[in-house]
């Protein structure tokens, strides 16, 4: 009987300890407790170490922001085996280990925005079932296919705001489930002709803020589900007439702030009624080669936000005049 009472009290003590542990909260952090797990947010500059003490064991979301954490290891993450969302935002990370995610097999989202990462070890993202990965505003000069396993489950990859000069086709071949790819604000100067051919589920592609001067006709030929294409703030001088031919679901195309002088005949044919295109900030040459775009703007003004900002750059006699307002005589047609 005494043994039974002892075992009962021991079990109750363990249960009580676990319960209190699940509802504790680390210093310099705030915690919210829900039925399916705890959410922990740590955003104090004075935080210099991973907040192990008091970290709820049932934490499913952990966000460490604007601190001086500087390092994190797999042993830290073993304290939160149920984690499905991890944000390490502006915490001065420089290096990560290849086994970092091995202790969090349920991790769905990893956000490493605003750190000092320039290199990552091979196979770092082979663990768990990552769907969303954000590597925005780091120091990467290249992206390595070896980071990912073959047939990765990733659906969203954000590599924006780095110093990447090229994207290897081998990397994207390992990410066949991607729906959203952000490569904006890098140093891309050229894209391989078939770079995106394995991305059959791609819906949003952001290439804005790079140094692209041209695109091959078949660049997006295999991306049949593409809905949003961001090409603004590049150095595009011309576009192939068949560039958008396969993109029957395209809803939004941004071409503003490039070096386009005209659009080739047929480029915008067959667009959906909901299609929107932004064309401002280009040096449009208003001569007979402008006929196609002029007619398209006249027929589809509702598809062009900031229509009055689509203005001639040359000849001098027409400079600053809205393209839509031109006459056949002015265009010489």
pLDDT more than 90, % of the chain: 88
Threshold 0.85, pTM exceeds: yes
Q: Is residue 52 part of a domain?
A: yes
Do 189 and 213 meet the contact criterion of CB atoms below 8 Å apart?
Answer: yes
User: Which phi and psi angles does 137 have, rounded to 5°?
Assistant: 55, 55
Structurally, the chain folds into a number of domains equal to 1
Do 107 and 80 meet the contact criterion of CB atoms below 8 Å apart?
Answer: no
Task: Indicate the range of 44-48, 127-131, 226-230, 274-278 predicted with least confidence.
Answer: 127-131
Q: Is residue 113 part of a domain?
A: yes
Q: Which of 80, 82, 117 is nearest to 97 (CA)?
A: 117
**Model pLDDT for residues 60-87, shown as the tens digit of each residue:** 999 999 999 989 999 999 999 999 999 9
Find the mean pLDDT for residues 47-63: 96
Q: Is residue 38 part of a domain?
A: yes
Q: Is residue 257 part of a domain?
A: no
Q: Is residue 298 part of a domain?
A: no
**Residue 73's domain is classified under what CATH number?**
3.80.10.10
Look at residue 13 in the predicted model and tell me its pLDDT. Answer: 35
Q: Report the C-alpha gap between 157 and 144 in whole angstroms.
A: 13
Residue 222 region by backbone torsions, left for phi larger than 0, else alpha for psi between -120 and 50, else beta = alpha
Do 177 and 152 meet the contact criterion of CB atoms below 8 Å apart?
Answer: yes
Q: Is residue 234 part of a domain?
A: no
Beta bridge partners of 156: 132, 180
**Model pLDDT for residues 2-33, shown as the tens digit of each residue:** 444 443 333 333 333 344 456 789 999 999 99
Q: Is residue 177 part of a domain?
A: no
Q: Report the C-alpha gap between 274 and 271 in whole angstroms.
A: 8
Q: Which of helix, strand or coil describes residue 289?
A: helix
Domain that holds residue 52: 26-96+105-122+131-138
Q: Report H helices in the chain.
A: 2-22, 74-77, 169-173, 291-299, 328-331
Q: Name residues whose C-beta falls within 8 Å of residue 224's C-beta, 6 or more positions apart in sequence.
A: 200, 246, 247, 248, 249
Find the mean pLDDT for residues 167-188: 97
Look at residue 235 in the predicted model and tell me its pLDDT. Answer: 98
Look at residue 193 in the predicted model and tell me its pLDDT. Answer: 80
Task: Indicate the range of 2-11, 93-102, 119-128, 158-167 predicted with least confidence.
Answer: 2-11
Look at residue 22 in the predicted model and tell me its pLDDT. Answer: 66
Q: Which of helix, strand or coil describes residue 269?
A: coil
**Model pLDDT for residues 285-301, shown as the tens digit of each residue:** 999 999 999 999 999 99
Half-sphere exposure of 217 (CA within 13 A, CB side): 7
User: What separation in angstroms does the CA of 28 have from each of 41, 48, 64, 233, 244?
Assistant: 9, 10, 10, 41, 51
Q: Is residue 213 part of a domain?
A: no
């Amino acid at each position: 009987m005494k043994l039974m009472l002892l075992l009962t009290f021991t079990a109750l003590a363990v249960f009580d300890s676990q319960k209190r542990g699940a509802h504790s909260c680390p210093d310099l952090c705030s915690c919210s407790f829900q039925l399916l797990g705890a959410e922990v947010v740590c955003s104090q500059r004075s935080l210099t170490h991973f907040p192990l003490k008091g970290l709820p064991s049932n934490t499913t979301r952990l966000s460490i922001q604007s601190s001086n954490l500087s390092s994190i290891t797999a042993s830290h993450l073993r304290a939160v085996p149920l984690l499905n969302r991890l944000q390490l935002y502006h915490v001065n990370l420089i290096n990560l280990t290849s086994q970092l995610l091995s202790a969090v097999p349920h991790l769905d989202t990893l956000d490493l925005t605003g750190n000092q990462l320039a290199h990552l070890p091979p196979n770092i993202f082979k663990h768990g079932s990552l769907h969303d990965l954000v590597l925005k505003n780091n120091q990467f000069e290249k992206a390595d296919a070896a980071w990912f396993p073959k047939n990765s489950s990733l659906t969203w990859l954000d590599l924006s705001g780095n110093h990447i000069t090229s994207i290897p086709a081998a990397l994207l071949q390992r990410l066949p489930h991607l729906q959203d790819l952000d490569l904006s604000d890098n140093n891309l100067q050229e894209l391989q002709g078939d770079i995106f051919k394995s991305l059959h589920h791609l819906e949003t592609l952001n290439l804005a803020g790079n140094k692209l001067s041209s695109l091959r006709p078949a660049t997006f030929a295999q991306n049949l589900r593409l809905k949003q294409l961001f090409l603004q703030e590049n150095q595009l001088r011309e576009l192939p007439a068949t560039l958008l031919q396969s993109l029957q679901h395209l809803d939004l195309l941004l071409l503003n702030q490039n070096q386009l002088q005209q659009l080739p005949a047929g480029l915008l044919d067959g667009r959906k009624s909901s299609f929107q295109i932004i064309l401002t900030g280009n040096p449009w040459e208003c001569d007979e080669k402008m006929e196609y775009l002029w007619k398209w703007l006249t027929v589809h003004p509702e598809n062009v936000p900031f229509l009055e900002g689509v203005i001639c750059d040359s000849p001098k006699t027409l400079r600053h005049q809205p393209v839509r307002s031109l006459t056949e005589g002015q265009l010489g047609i």
